[in-house]
Amino acid sequence: MNKKIFLSSPTINGSEMQYIKEAFDTNWIAPLGKNVDRFEQEVTDYLGDGYGAALCSGTAALHLAIKLAGIGAGDIVLCSSLTFAASANPITYEQGIPVFVDSERDTWNMDPRALEKALQTYPNAKAVVMVHLYGTPGKVKEIMELCNKYHIPLIEDAAESFGAKYQGKYTGTFGRYAILSFNGNKIITTSGGGMLITKTNEEADRARYFATQARMPERHYEHTEIGYNYRMSNIVAGIGRGQLKSLNDFIEKKKRIRKVYKELLQDIQSIHLNPYDEKISEPNFWLSCITINDDSNVLPLDIITSLEDDQIESRPIWKPMHIQPVYKENDFIQIAEGVSVAEDIYNHGVCLPADVKITATDMLRIINIIRNLFHKKSISLSMVERILDA
Ligand SMILES: Cc1ncc(COP(=O)(O)O)c(C=O)c1O
């Protein structure tokens, strides 16, 4: 049987163990501890801005961003539709109402024109949740201008885009609040975890307080608000500290993976890679995705099942939130009539493997399976090696 190729699985670099060992040696595996403090500092040092609260997941981070933004019952929050459910669910946790906003074609992210229409329709909206999908920064400048014009906070969901830059600055540093995810499939992982990024230490402290059951600073257990058990453990943070050392190398590898797909599938006119504007952004290339034109006889599912038959993991694009049964009653704002951009990308797209450990031989298997479906000549290993191992 062929070796299994994963979409994006954890890649341990070995240095994680020293931080975990230190926690064990000092009998400090919980609660919190030095690794947590350092990890918060190291992540925000990397970003060059903000204050971090290390939490048990990106979803928890988004929940606390929603709380800090003051979202409550009945408040409208404008949210990207083309994303994972975790971008929207925390709005609902606080009984807010997500209104979904369509994507644009240039980056697949929130369309500023659709956002403007949404803001005109809902001038009392309380926040915008903007996602940088698959590691590609969205149109930050246009979206920030709209948020400023309507005086509402931007919450950046940078769960998939840690290390990606927009106009030379890292995603996660633009919004009033931002979140990162260190889930197992993300560009770096702590096995599971996330971080809230705030503009002031007071806000990060407030998030830390909510994340530890909203315990008041008293000797006894005193609570004046509802809290959560959302903090990251000292062991988990140790993994993060080790992983952080590899972030730039992982981005470089994922960039090459994308280049392999780009160059070795470019003669198939029906295939297009997920786009980005290289003049203003540097994605982290977390996943390489393709869309397939209607004129082709090959459907996304044909690619997914052919890869699956050879032990290769791929995925459909996120199913947009506005067509999810759970959110079907929620409003959705798009520019033109007809099938939305988000749904069109979903209908035509596939996420291809972009695992950091992928080898030239693995990529040869993937590329030739796809080429074969489109009746194109197979390529040789050296053609992949020339790009991947350059
Ligand atoms: C866009 C997006 N937002 C939020 C999350 C939630 O992160 P976590 O899995 O760490 O809760 C994820 C990933 O899982 C994601 O892809």
Domain with residue 278: its CATH number is: 3.90.1150.10
1 domain-assigned = no
146 domain-assigned = yes
d(CA 42, CA 118): 37
Question: 244, 269, 297: which is the final residue of a domain?
Answer: 244
Let me know: does 234 contact 28? Beta carbons within 8 Å: yes
> What's the confidence (pLDDT) of residue 24?
85
121 domain-assigned = yes
Q: Which residues contact 90 (CB under 8 A, 6 or more apart)?
A: 59, 62, 63, 65, 66
Number of separate domains in the chain: 2
**Is 28 a residue whose pLDDT tops 80?**
no
Point out the ligand 1 atom lying closest to the alpha carbon of residue 194.
Answer: 10
The whole model's pTM is what? Answer: 0.97
- Same domain for 361 and 231, yes or no, is no
> What's the confidence (pLDDT) of residue 299?
96
| Span 64-85, average pLDDT | 98
Domain that residue 187 falls in? 16-244
- For 233, counting Cβ atoms within 10 Å of its Cβ (0-12 exposed, 13-18 middle, 19+ buried), the class is buried
Let me know: does 295 contact 173? Beta carbons within 8 Å: no
- For 204, counting Cβ atoms within 10 Å of its Cβ (0-12 exposed, 13-18 middle, 19+ buried), the class is buried
- Same domain for 297 and 384, yes or no, is yes
> What's the confidence (pLDDT) of residue 313?
98
Going from the Cα of 51 to the center of ligand 1, the distance in angstroms, rounded, reads 20
Point out the ligand 1 atom lying closest to the alpha carbon of residue 131.
Answer: 1
Point out the ligand 1 atom lying closest to the alpha carbon of residue 193.
Answer: 10
Which of 90, 65, 70 minimizes the C-alpha distance to 204?
Answer: 65
**Is 213 a residue whose pLDDT tops 80?**
yes
**Is 49 a residue whose pLDDT tops 90?**
yes
Query: How many other C-beta atoms are found inside a 10 Å radius of the C-beta of residue 182?
Result: 32
Going from the Cα of 28 to the center of ligand 1, the distance in angstroms, rounded, reads 28
- Same domain for 229 and 253, yes or no, is no
Query: How many other C-beta atoms are found inside a 10 Å radius of the C-beta of residue 121?
Result: 13
DSSP code for 232: P
Question: 227, 244, 261: which is the final residue of a domain?
Answer: 244
DSSP 47-113: HTS-EEEEES-HHHHHHHHHHHTT--TT-EEEEESSS-GGGTHHHHHTT-EEEEEPBPTTTSSB-HH
Average pLDDT of every residue of the chain: 97
Residue 35 confidence class, pLDDT cut points 50, 70, 90: very high
Pocket test for ligand 1, best of 171, 183, 191 (most atoms within 8 A of CB): 183
Question: 209, 244, 279: which is the final residue of a domain?
Answer: 244
| Span 199-211, average pLDDT | 98
21 domain-assigned = yes
| Percentage of residues of the chain with pLDDT beyond 90 | 95
8 domain-assigned = no
- Same domain for 239 and 264, yes or no, is no
Give the residues surrounding ligand 1 with Cβ less than 6 Å away.
Answer: 57-59, 83-84, 86-87, 131, 157, 159-160, 181, 183, 194
Going from the Cα of 180 to the center of ligand 1, the distance in angstroms, rounded, reads 8
> What's the confidence (pLDDT) of residue 390?
81
Residue 242 confidence class, pLDDT cut points 50, 70, 90: very high
Going from the Cα of 59 to the center of ligand 1, the distance in angstroms, rounded, reads 6
Q: In the numeric block, which tokens belong to residue 24?
A: 């064990």
Residue 332 confidence class, pLDDT cut points 50, 70, 90: very high
Which is more confidently placed, 326 or 28?
A: 326
> What's the confidence (pLDDT) of residue 23?
84
Q: Which residues contact 24 (CB under 8 A, 6 or more apart)?
A: none
Q: In the numeric block, which tokens belong to residue 366?
A: 């993937």
CA dist list (Å): 297 to 36, 93, 305: 51, 43, 15
11 domain-assigned = no
| Span 310-333, average pLDDT | 98
Residue with tokens 């459907």: 299
- Same domain for 272 and 228, yes or no, is no
One-letter amino acid at 344 equals D
- For 297, counting Cβ atoms within 10 Å of its Cβ (0-12 exposed, 13-18 middle, 19+ buried), the class is exposed
- Same domain for 220 and 265, yes or no, is no
Let me know: does 116 contact 146? Beta carbons within 8 Å: yes
> What's the confidence (pLDDT) of residue 32?
79
2 domain-assigned = no
- Same domain for 71 and 175, yes or no, is yes
- Same domain for 239 and 256, yes or no, is no
Residue with tokens 């400023």: 148
**Is 176 a residue whose pLDDT tops 80?**
yes
Residue with tokens 């990106």: 58
Find the angle CA(227)-CA(231)-CA(232) to the nearest 5 degrees: 170
- Same domain for 203 and 279, yes or no, is no
| Percentage of residues of the chain with pLDDT beyond 70 | 99
Let me know: does 237 contact 190? Beta carbons within 8 Å: yes
- Same domain for 72 and 174, yes or no, is yes
Preceding peptide of 283 cis, ω within 30°: no
